[in-house]
Structure 1
Amino acid sequence: MAEKTGLNSVGNMAVVAMVAAWTAVSAPAVSFAQVPNNGSATTAASQQKSFDIPAGRLPEALEAYKKATGVTVAVKVGNTAGEDFQTSAVTGVYTNEAALRAMLNGTGLSSRFTAGGTAVVSIENAESVDVSAPLPNEVAMTKFTSPLLDTAASVTVIPQFVLKDEGVSTLRDALRNVPGISLAAGESGAQGDNLTIRGFTARNDIFMDGIRDFGSYFRDSFNYEQVEALEGPAGIAFGRGATGGVINQENKVPGVTPLINVQAQFGTNLTRRVTADINEPIPDVANGAAFRLNLMVNDSGVAGRPFDAIHRLGVAPSISFGLNTATRFTLSYIHLNENDTPDYGLPWFYNKLAPGVSRYAYFGFADQNFLKTNDDIITAKVDHDFNSHVTVHSIARAANYPRNAQITEPQICTNASIPAPVGGWVPSRPTSSVTGANCPYIPGAVNPSTILVNRNQIQIKSVEGDLWDQTEVNARFKVLGLKHEFVGGVEGGQEISNPIRYGYTISGLNTVPSTTLVNPNTSQVFGGTGYISSIVHTKAESVGLYFVDTVHLGRLFELSGGVRWDRFDTGYNGYQPTAPTGGTALAASSAGTFSRVDAQPSYRAAFVYKPTSHGSVYFDYGTSFNPSAESLALTSITQNVAPEQNETYEAGAKYSFLNEHLMMEGAWFRTEKDNARETDPNNSNNIVVAGNQAVKGVQVSAVGRLPQGMDIVAGYAYLSSKVLYSPFYPTSVGYQLANVPKQTFNAFITHRLPGHFNAGVGGNYVASRTASSTTPFVPLTFGAATTFAAGSAPCGTATTTTCYQVLSTGMKQVPGYWVFNLMLKRSISEHLEVQANVNNVLNRFFIDLPHPSHLIPGEGANALMGLNYKF
Structure 2
Amino acid sequence: MKKDQRRESLRRRFAGSRSWLAVGTLAAYTVMGSSRQSLAAVKPGSEVSPGPGGPVANLPVKRFNIAAGGLEDGIKAYEQATGLTVRVELPGGTLAGFQTKGVTGLHTVEEGMRLLLEDTGLSYAVQGSSTMVVGLKRSESVEVTASLPDTVSMNKFTQPLIDTPQTVAVVPQFVLHEQQNTTLRDALRNVPGISMAAGEAGAQGDNLTIRGFTARNDIFLDGIRDFGSYYRDSFNYEQVEVLEGPAGVQFGRGSTGGIINQSTKVPAADKFIHVQTQFGTDATRRISADVNEPLKDFAAGSAVRVNAVGVAGGVAGRPYAENKHYGVAPSISFGMNSATPGTIGYFHVTESDTPDYGLPWLFNKLAPANRHAYFGFPDSNNLHADVDVVTGRLAHSFNEHLQLHSIARWANYQRKAQITEPQICSNASQAIPVGRYVSALPTSSVTGAPCTYTPATPADLIAVNRNQIAIKSVESDLWDQTELTARFKVLGVRNDFVGGVEGGQETSNPVRTTYKNVTPTNLANPNPHDAFTGTGTVSSVTHVKSQSVGLYFVDTVHLGRMFDLSGGVRWDYFDTRYSLYVPNTTTPATLASQDVTKPTYRAAFVYKPNAHGSVYFDYGTSFNPSAESLSLSVSTSVLPPEENETYEVGAKYSLLNDRLLLDGAWFRTTKLNARETDPTNSNNIVLAGNQRVKGVQASAVGRLPQGMDLVLGYAYLKSEVLSSKFFPTSVGYPLANVPKQTFNAFVTRNVVAHIKAGLGANYVAARTASSTVPFTPLTFGPLTTYIDPATGTQKKGYQVLSTGIKQVPGYWVFNAMISRPVTDRIELQANIFNLANRFYIDQPHPSHLIPGAGLSALFGVNFKF
Q: TM-score range by the shorter chain?
A: 0.7 to 0.9
Q: How does 1:232-631 map to 2 (within 5 A)?
A: 232-355=245-368, 357-444=369-456, 446-505=457-516, 511-578=517-584, 592-631=590-629
How far has the Cα of 1:428 moved from its partner?
1.2
User: CA 1:141 to 1:269, structure 2 compared with 1: closer, same or farther past 3 Å?
Assistant: same
Q: 1:16-55, CA deviations, whole angstroms, 9 ceiling, x for partnerless residues?
A: xxx9xxxxxxxxxxxx99x9xxxxxxxxxxxxxxxxxxxx
User: Which residue does the alignment assign to 1:51?
Assistant: none
1:91 aligns with 2:72: no
- State how many pairs are aligned: 782
Q: Once the two structures are superposed, what CA deviation does each residue of 1:149-205 show, in whole Å capped at 9, x if it has no partner?
A: 100000001000000000111001100000000000000111000000000000000
- Helix, strand or coil: the match of 1:177? coil
Displacement of 1:90: 3.1
* 1:452–1:516 CA contact under 8 A, matched in 2: yes
Q: Where in structure 2 are there 5+ consecutive unaligned residues?
A: 8-24, 30-41, 67-73, 96-121, 131-141
Q: Distance in 2 between matches of 1:839 and 1:265?
A: 14
Task: Give, as a single letter, the amino acid of the residue that structure 2 aligns with 1:468.
Answer: W
Distance in 1 separating the partners of 2:75 and 2:528? 66
Aligned-pair distance for 1:708?
1.2
Q: For 2:813, which of 808, 819, 831 is the aligned residue?
A: 819
State the Cα distance separating 1:93 from its structure 2 match: 3.4
Counterpart in the other structure of 1:810: 804
Matching of residues 701-740 of structure 1 within 5 Å: 701-740=699-738
In structure 1, distance between residues paired with 2:444 and 2:263: 47
Q: What secondary structure does 1:386 align onto? A: strand
Q: 1:124 aligns with which of 113, 125, 128?
A: 128
Q: Does the 8 Å contact 1:224/1:252 carry over to 2? A: yes
**Conservation of the 8 A alpha-carbon contact between 1:341 and 1:369:** yes
- Could you give the per-residue CA deviations for residues 634-673 of structure 1, whole angstroms, max 9, x where no partner exists? 1110011110000000000000000000000000000000
The residue that corresponds to 2:691 in the other structure is 693
Q: Deviations over 1:397-442 (max 9, x none)?
A: 0000000000000000000000011111111111100010110101
Q: Which residue of 2 aligns with 1:70?
A: none
Q: Letter of the aligned partner of 2:503 in structure 1?
A: G
**1:857 has 2:851 as partner:** yes
Give me the whole-angstrom Cα distance separating, in 2, the residues matched to 1:799 and 1:574.
Answer: 40
> Counterpart of 2:188 in 1: which secondary structure?
helix
Q: Distance in 2 between matches of 1:323 and 1:800?
A: 80
* C-alpha spacing 1:620/1:317, structure 2 compared with 1 (3 Å): same
Q: Provide the secondary structure at the position in 1 that maps to 2:178.
A: helix
Same amino acid, percent of matched pairs: 62
Shift of 1:302: 0.2
1:654-665 map, 5 Å: 654-665=652-663
Shift of 1:764: 0.3
2: distance between equivalents of 1:689 and 1:338? 38
* Deviation at residue 681 of structure 1 after TM alignment: 1.2
CA contact (8 A) 1:227 1:250 kept: yes
- How far has the Cα of 1:120 moved from its partner? 5.8
Secondary structure at 1:518 match in 2? coil
Report if aligned partners of 2:612, 2:653 keep a CA contact under 8 Å in 1: yes
1:531-576: per-residue Cα shift (whole Å, max 9, x none)? 0000000000000000000000000000000100000000000011
Judge conservation of contact 1:113–1:120 (CA < 8 Å) in 2.
no
Shift of 1:697: 0.2
Q: Does 1:142 align with 2:155?
A: yes
Structure 1 counterpart SS, 2:584: coil
- Partners of 1:347 and 1:270 lie apart in 2 by 27
Deviation track 1:117-149 (CA, whole Å, cap 9, x = no partner) reads 5996333269xx995211011000000010101
Q: C-alpha distance in 1, partners of 2:280/2:80?
A: 39
**CA shift digits 1:196-244 (9 cap, x unpaired):** 0000000000000000000011011000000000001100000000000
Match of 2:99 in 1: none
**Displacement after TM superposition at 1:86 (Å):** 5.0
Aligned position for 2:210 = 197
CA RMSD of aligned residues (A): 2.6
How is 1:159-174 mapped onto 2 (pairs within 5 angstroms)?
159-174=172-187
What is the one-letter code of the residue matched to 1:670? R
Distance 2:532 2:792 in 1: 44
Determine helix, strand or coil for the equivalent of 1:675.
Answer: strand
The question of whether the paired residues in 2 share the 8 Å contact of 1:199 and 1:719 is answered with yes
Of 229, 234, 252 in structure 1, the residue corresponding to residue 242 of structure 2 is 229
Structure 1 stretches lacking a partner, 5+ long: 1-18, 20-31, 36-55, 61-74, 506-510, 580-584
Amino acid paired to 1:694: R
Alignment correspondent of 2:832: 838
Say whether the 8 Å CA contact 2:47–2:125 is kept in structure 1: no
Q: Secondary structure at the match of 2:399?
A: coil
In structure 1, distance between residues paired with 2:365 and 2:81: 53
Matched residue of 1:774: which SS?
A: coil
How many angstroms apart in 2 are the aligned matches of 1:220 and 1:742?
28
Give SS of 1:785's match: strand
Aligned equivalents of 1:420 and 1:98: distance in 2? 73
Does the C-alpha gap of structure 1 residues 111 and 822 become closer, same or farther in structure 2, counting only changes over 3 Å?
A: farther
Q: Provide, for residues 257-296 of structure 1, a one-character-per-residue CA deviation record: whole Å limited to 9, x for no partner.
A: 1110000110012110000000000011111011000010
Q: 1: distance between equivalents of 2:80 and 2:767?
A: 43
TM-score, normalised relative to structure 2:
0.87
Q: CA deviation at 1:686?
A: 3.9
1:181 to 181, 194, 199: 194
- What is the Cα deviation at residue 794 of structure 1? 5.2
